[in-house]
Structure 1
């Protein structure tokens, strides 16, 4: 179990604190928001950021997510754990997509070690795609929400050298000798296909959020995910771009869906 390092709350405000937990022997950074004075319901959220862009960089990945964790925790009265994937912020390691997948699994294990029995996964961009894959294989996950998330990473897999260069540029790959085997690293990209896994998540609930002005992930991706799942809720947010974490409509839809849907899986 990760050790809480800081933060004291009062009243109805969530108690927030930084923590460290392990994934593949790497020390990852997290932030845990916990409801203050609320009766434990058994529900909790793992919150995942996306792949950093050039302007934000790895050092700022997930920087605003503790604020969102606090907001969700205060609204739902659930614990919410947001994480920094390997290679991001102060987490150890270097970016590898299948490694990020294992980081989600480690975060689920961390949250269940704190007494959560019904884990909801919420991810944005790449993080949402990995949440779908983890939910497909992990019975501790009772539902998933993915916002602006691709259905596959085939474009990355077709051009692994270009992705490596970009990953080094934004700082998620820090070590000059990584990866030791580019072919193996690239196979992890090709093997991560949430559109092929999402049917395994069903009939557990899935919420897909997408912006009509998203210039990074085409609308065909969430539509394909919804179709493959069979009973997903799909919400198009008019005029919204890729960064849905900063869109209050998306956050309101997410919070309302979690509150409403959780009552169906009691």
Structure 2
């Protein structure tokens, strides 16, 4: 059961989709249920392929989900492509506030999942909002400055990137605007670009670069504890350096799990990675669904459903 919704966020309206699994709606009418908020990647939208796979998988497991376009993205209001990290954290918090008005949502079991850019937002949002009960970060990052340094690794690439920042800062001081190509901000190998969803932005206002550069989920990730945190990352990631999730793990407090996956690059769920999906299923059963749901999930897996 899909419901198109509108979420108020700092004077803007965000476009979202609330999904209630058919079996949940049929067998538990009027009952409260756990829900996972799904955050899309950099300049993407709620049709992000990773979110589509994650939503479909969670739906089969019986979890409700909420996915929405961040401000300035997709069908949401806001300045196009002005995807500032701080604003997106506010959007995530306001999405949780909207969920609290839904009588069928178990307010003690709201999880949050983000991929890549969305993972950094998810970690920061969970750390600064105790209403979020569990957090999953997929190929995320914890320090914008060190992330950019690794992404622009060669001396030539780093000089080009820092020169772009100097130009952007100078123009900002002069009251001028500057647009920056997506791939000058975050290099993505040509063969990986098909993973970008239709409608993803190809350039951004310079303010986005500054926002990402100063954004540091590492500074707040420890505040998620004692709520659970799951960090997922490819063991080699050609987009977001694997070291970013390792550093998030080092800055976090227990309970936190870190899993690295071989043989897949950045879009962990894009190829329906069954190892990652089964791990996510078990982790959610333990940390969000509750014991009854955990038993039900394992029973289905054991019976081949």
TM-score range, shorter chain: 0.7 to 0.9
* Equivalent residue number for residue 26 of structure 2: 37
Q: Which has the higher contact order (CA 8 A, sep 6+)?
A: 2
Post-superposition CA distance 1:55-94 (Å, at most 9, x none)? xxx478525634532431330x332101111222212223
TM-score scaled by length of structure 1:
0.78
> CA distance change for structure 1 residues 59 and 145 in 2, over 3 Å: closer, same or farther?
closer
* Equivalent residue number for residue 165 of structure 1: 180
Runs of 4+ in 1 over 6 A off after TM superposition: none
> CA distance change for structure 1 residues 72 and 18 in 2, over 3 Å: closer, same or farther?
same
* Equivalent residue number for residue 284 of structure 2: 258
> CA distance change for structure 1 residues 113 and 67 in 2, over 3 Å: closer, same or farther?
farther
Q: Which has the higher helix share?
A: 2
Root mean square deviation, CA, Å? 3.0
Query: Are the equivalent residues in 2 in contact too, given 1:44–1:111 (CA < 8 A)?
Result: no
Pick aligned residue for 1:79 from 64, 71, 89: 64
SS at match of 1:204: coil
The size of the alignment, in residue pairs, is: 238
Query: Are the equivalent residues in 2 in contact too, given 1:122–1:128 (CA < 8 A)?
Result: yes
Q: CA deviation at 1:252?
A: 2.5
Q: CA deviation at 1:187?
A: 5.7
Pick aligned residue for 2:98 from 98, 110, 135: 110
> CA distance change for structure 1 residues 64 and 134 in 2, over 3 Å: closer, same or farther?
closer
Post-superposition CA distance 1:215-243 (Å, at most 9, x none)? 11222111111121132111111111111
Pick aligned residue for 2:260 from 231, 236, 243: 236
Structure 2: gaps (5+ residues): 150-160, 170-177, 185-199, 294-305
Query: Are the equivalent residues in 2 in contact too, given 1:244–1:250 (CA < 8 A)?
Result: yes
Rg larger for: 2
Structure 1: gaps (5+ residues): 1-14, 53-57
Q: CA deviation at 1:28?
A: 1.4
Q: Structure 1: how far apart are the matches of 2:11 and 2:249?
A: 35
SS at match of 1:86: coil
SS at match of 1:43: strand
